Structure 1
Amino acid sequence: MYQIHKSLGQHFLQDENISRKIIQALMFQPGEAVLEVGPGLGALTKYLIALPEIEYRAIEIDKEKILYLLRRYPELEGSLLQGDVLEMALPFSRPFKLIGNFPYQITSGIMFRIMEWKAHMQLAVGMVQKEVAQRICSSPGQKTYGLLSVLLQTWFQIEYLFEVSPNCFFPPPRVQSAVIRLMPKPEHPLITDEKQYIQLVKTAFQQRRKMLRNALKEFFPPEQLQHPVFNQRAEQLGWADYLQLYEWYRHVNP
């Protein structure tokens, strides 16, 4: 038996067809390393550990679920880590893939963690709240376009794969879900200080109703703010535009 902890946002996937589709999206090749985030009751785990020559690890915050998985799959001994993915160290010393039904209340945090690990990751497949998936995949000018859209699209090619009904879970969540895939771009854009780049984009969206001339006035000298691009608002610029702004910023703040 097991308990469902609402505080952890636990909704367990029970649809085998959906589980298999998520596994297929991982595009696994024999011998690869895979980190599963939040294995829960093992909806994906049982398929992952059956993959040929997999180097498998998982992180789960709920100790009860770890004990449940070890009773059900004793071969997982040594592969399960109790802890928070937002605080864990890099899980492998070689390139790896990441997969999971992400707890919806920490999805943004997981996305920032994926960005931190991008140089080590081959791809990530995750189930998230549908609205978050749409936001991540949205384009400039759309209502859902925001900070996560720009940052993830800067470093990843993103695919909106398919949607998942609440009826596929127990207990059913009150929201629709969707599965996305993120693949690091073959050539990462040259950003010498990623924290500065993230802060620039974040500041733009913190005042998204203002023209960038006002939202970003702390980043640029008055004469540069006369450029026409600063007549626009944050959601009107694509990730390549933000890279250009960052390059201008670095030029005036070497």
Structure 2
Amino acid sequence: MYTLKKSLGQHFLKDENICKQIVGSLPVEKGMQVLEVGPGAGAITKYLLEIPDIHFKAVELDAEKVQYLEKTFPAIQGKLILDSFLETPVPYEGQFSVIGNFPYNISTQIMFRILDWREQVPVVVGMFQKEVAVRIAAKEGNKDYGILSVFLQRFYDIEFLFEVQEDAFNPPPKVKSGVIRLTRLDAPLAVKSEKKFTLLVKTAFGQRRKQLRNPLKGFFDKEYLQQPIFTKRAEELTVADFVALSEHML
């Protein structure tokens, strides 16, 4: 058997229908490469291993879980990476999809790691704490729309697929969960300077209740600050608006 480790944010899925739904949300093509993040006790791993004609790997930080998985699912031999997802090297050459019941305490860091790998990751299916999932998928004009929404939606189309209740887990978390799917855009929005774009978005949302003219006044010349867009608040701007603004920064 195995032990649950609170330090690793472990809440294991026990609802088989939810497990099947998550795996069923991943588009599958013959020969594709798939990486599962944090397989834990193998709730969705066992269904991933049943998919024919794919190349599968899983990265797991907990050595005890790796031993458990190898004993319980012989088909996983040679496919497990004992490492932190946040530190492991890119596990494949070429394109690979990512799936997982992501540890909630590092789920935002996981998404930034995937952003680093975006050239190789066309699809992500992940379960998050519901409020994080909602935030990632939120569109402009919504109070949940923020820094993470903008950074991810510059490269991915994001769908909130379904909610997961607390009793689907052992032990039950104190929050609801949500499953989302990210599909890489055919034409991501390019910027001249990643550094300026990042600074712009973080500064704008740092004072999200104020009109943009106030927090951003040091980034643009006085004449350009008279543009009507600066009377808006950060959450009213589309991703494309932020990209366009970043081109005019000092």
Question: Smaller-chain TM-score range?
Answer: over 0.9
Amino acid at match of 2:130: K
Give how far 1:155 is off: 1.1
How far apart in 2 are the matches of 1:89 and 1:218?
A: 38
Distance 1:195 1:82, change over 3 A: farther
Q: Once the two structures are superposed, what CA deviation does each residue of 1:26-83 show, in whole Å capped at 9, x if it has no partner?
A: 0111211000000000011111111112211111111111111111123322211122
1:63 aligns with 2:60: no
What is the match of residue 203 of structure 1? 203
- 1: distance between equivalents of 2:131 and 2:117? 24
Residue aligning to 1:230: 230
SS of residue matched to 1:204: helix
Secondary structure of the 2:78 match is: coil
2:93 paired with 1:90: no
Match of 1:139 in 2: 139
Q: TM-score, normalised by structure 1?
A: 0.94
Q: State the partner residue of 1:168.
A: 168
Q: Deviations over 1:159-195 (max 9, x none)?
A: 1111111111100111101110000001121224334
2:40 aligned with 1:36, yes or no? no
Matched residue count: 250
Q: Which has the higher helix share?
A: 1
Please give the alpha-carbon distance, in whole angstroms, between the structure 2 residues aligned to 1:13 and 1:48. 15
Contact 2:189-2:240 at 8 Å conserved across structures? no
Q: RMSD over aligned Cα, in angstroms?
A: 1.3
Name the structure 2 match of 1:10: 10
Cα distance in 1, alignment partners of residues 245 and 167 from structure 2: 45
Corresponding residue SS for 1:212: coil
Matches of 2:198 and 2:38, distance apart in 1: 27
- Alpha-carbon distance in structure 2 between the residues aligned to 1:43 and 1:186: 32
The answer to whether the 8 Å contact 2:97/2:123 transfers is yes
CA distance in 1, matches of 2:121, 2:50: 21
Deviations for 1:171-223, whole angstroms, at most 9, x for unmatched residues? Answer: 01111011100000011212243343222211111121222112122321222
State the alpha-carbon separation in 1 of the partners of residues 59 and 117 from structure 2: 15
Conservation of the 8 A alpha-carbon contact between 1:30 and 1:51: no
Could you say which residue in structure 2 is the equivalent of 1:151?
151
Amino acid at match of 2:14: Q
Structure 2: state its 5+ residue gaps: none
Q: What's the % identity of the aligned pairs?
A: 50
Contact 2:192 2:247 (8 Å CA) reproduced: no
Aligned equivalents of 1:29, 1:200: Cα separation in 2: 38
Q: Which amino acid aligns with 2:148?
A: L
User: 1: CA distance between counterparts of 2:196 and 2:79?
Assistant: 36
Unpaired segments ≥5 residues, structure 1: none
Distance 2:87 2:197 in 1: 22
